[in-house]
Amino acid sequence: MSQARVAVGTVELHLPGVGSLKDKRHVLKGVKEKVRQRFEVSVAEVNHQDTWQRATLAVAYVSGDSRHANEVVSKALDFIEANVDGDVIDVQIEVL
């Protein structure tokens, strides 16, 4: 029996163009939906929920192959970086 591998990536963002929590949630909702549809991953805001110009998104993917899981999460994080109107503060990936 093969083992499941889980890749988890986080991207911390600074969103200078966002003027309220409502605006931030609207921006993040669109990004999260696009990432879910395109990469078939789980996406959630995991930090800075009450701070209107910062956000940390986590992306998770399960696979039987750790290399594949890492690749999918890496591409999803690259997509977020390229499609969010803001600055990337930090990116991390871990395979469990």
Q: What is the pLDDT of residue 1?
A: 52
Q: By percentage, how much of the chain surpasses pLDDT 90?
A: 96
Alpha carbons 15 and 36: distance in angstroms, whole number: 21
Alpha carbons 52 and 20: distance in angstroms, whole number: 5
Q: Which of 80, 22, 30, 18 is nearest to 54 (CA)?
A: 18
Write down the pTM of the prediction.
0.93
Q: How far is CA 32 from CA 2, 51, 59, 65, in A?
A: 30, 18, 9, 24
- Count of structural domains, the chain: 1
pLDDT of 79 > 90? The answer is: yes
Structural domain range at position 70: 5-95
- Summary mean pLDDT of the chain: 96
CATH number of the domain residue 51 falls in: 3.30.70.1120
* Cα 11–Cα 58–Cα 41 angle in degrees, nearest 5: 120
Collapse the DSSP code of 69 into the 3-class scheme (helix H, G, I; strand E, B; otherwise coil) and give the result: helix
Q: What are phi and psi of 84, to 5 degrees?
A: -105, 140
pLDDT of 63 > 80? The answer is: yes
